[in-house]
């Protein structure tokens, strides 16, 4: 029994898990919700104080933390909701139309 590796796959009925149960954790990483974006945030590294107000509010866990520092957005999964832009008190996150 396998689970769906990628939403773009079209597995046959007998290749799918019984009853749609998702076997395994963290599988949302395999769904590229970045495609849904209309607006896009931008990280202005030099203005960023590493205050960490932004990453807890990200509904898609698209603000990666590495070595106790936030890094650039995970654009495979960022849906462009703009919540991080709203909470940043330092103007370190921009928010504009995708593809501009």
Kindly list the residues in this chain that would bind another protein in the complex (CB under 8 A).
1, 4, 7, 10-14, 16, 18-27
Taking the least distance from each CB to another protein, the nearer of 24 and 91 is 24
Taking the least distance from each CB to another protein, the nearer of 16 and 83 is 16
| Least spacing, CB of residue 25 vs another protein, in Å | 3
Nearest to 95 by CA among 56, 42, 53, 48: 42
Q: How far is CA 62 from the centre of its chain?
A: 3
CB neighbour list of residue 53: distance below 8 Å, 6 or more residues apart: 87, 88, 89
Taking the least distance from each CB to another protein, the nearer of 10 and 67 is 10
């Amino acid at each position: 029994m396998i689970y769906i590796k990628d939403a773009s796959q079209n597995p046959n009925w007998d290749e799918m898990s019984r009853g749609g149960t998702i076997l395994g954790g963290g599988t949302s990483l395999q769904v590229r919700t970045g495609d849904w974006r209309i607006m896009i945030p931008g990280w202005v590294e030099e203005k960023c104080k590493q205050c960490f107000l932004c990453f807890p509010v990200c509904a898609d866990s698209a603000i990666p933390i590495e070595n106790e520092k936030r890094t650039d957005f995970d654009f495979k999964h960022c849906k462009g909701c703009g919540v991080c832009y709203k909470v940043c008190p330092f103007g370190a996150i921009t928010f504009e139309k995708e593809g501009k």
